[in-house]
A and B are shown apart, each in its own frame.
Chain A
């Protein structure tokens, strides 16, 4: 090892005390933790905003009566899942925090679920009822 390299390494070790290394680790993970908490909150806010907009009738498309009649328990669950989805998508972005992405994911999460549920198969009772409405004029 050359003298110059030894001088460089000694300089690094001299500047990086155990205390500074621990502090650095804490700062870095504190940023990650705050980004996760932030994305979770933004996801919850996005989901809640969507539910409130549905409840107040601002979103009229697709006859979204399911969302208008949702109870407090299910609404709470929806918002929490919105926060969780936003958090999952935030993790690859760490330590950067992208609040807009989390907010949009919180909003689009119920839409994705609605699309999924609308594609689920009907019960035989519902099919039977819908068939009763078909007659020739």
Chain B
């Protein structure tokens, strides 16, 4: 398939087979505390989509964000700082929803420009849909594009 045609396809259609599903693994309420983030982030991708009460994704936090937080000197003791919600963590990447209806070009540009290892995909209602791993995306491009 030509690259131009590939890039115009919808993420939810052409890349469906590489999207890792499972909202239980990848989502957590946005008011989750930093100290509880670890066990929620214990998935193969090291990424967590924070959702509001209506289950809409409002922020995406990765392991590197937590590492950055710890490197700034936050204590692992249950201090007041550690009791802060995960939502207050300044994520390295500003959350920009990539939906199942977004084009593959938009998804690629987001991954490349923000240098993220995993891309959270939401549905048309901004609810969590799945995660695309960068390596799987590269493999898919290599396989599909001529």
Contact = CB atoms under 8 A, between A and B. Distances in A.
A129 B109 CA distance: 10
B111 A123 contact: no
B70 interface: no
Contacts of A72: none
A126 B6 CA distance: 11
Interface in B116-143: 117, 134, 137-143
Nearest to A64: B143
A130 B3 contact: no
Interface string B79-107: 00000000000000000000000000000
Interface residues of B, number: 21
Nearest to A60: B17
Given A123-B146, A126-B3, A126-B145, A133 B139 contact: no
A133 B146 contact: no
A44 B47 CA distance: 47
Interface residues of A, number: 16
B144 A133 contact: no
A135 B115 contact: yes
B143 A133 contact: no
B74 interface: no
A132 B137 CA distance: 12
A75 B128 CA distance: 36
B138 A130 contact: yes
A62 B3 contact: no
Contacts of A125: 3
A64 B139 CA distance: 11
Contacts of B145: 126, 129
Contacts of B115: 135
B146 A130 contact: no
Contacts of A68: 17
Given A65-B143, A133-B111, 9 more contacts: A62-B143, A64-B143, A66-B1, A68-B17, A69-B1, A129-B3, A129-B145, A133-B137, A135-B115
27 contacts: A63-B17, A63-B18, A63-B140, A63-B144, A65-B17, A65-B140, A65-B143, A65-B144, A66-B143, A66-B144, A68-B17, A69-B1, A123-B3, A126-B3, A126-B142, A126-B146, A129-B3, A129-B108, A129-B141, A130-B141, A132-B108, A132-B112, A133-B111, A133-B112, A133-B134, A133-B138, A135-B115
Interface of A: 62-66, 68-69, 123, 125-126, 129-130, 132-133, 135, 137
Q: Which 8 A-B pairs have the closest CB atoms?
A: A63-B143, A132-B112, A125-B3, A133-B138, A126-B145, A135-B115, A65-B144, A126-B3
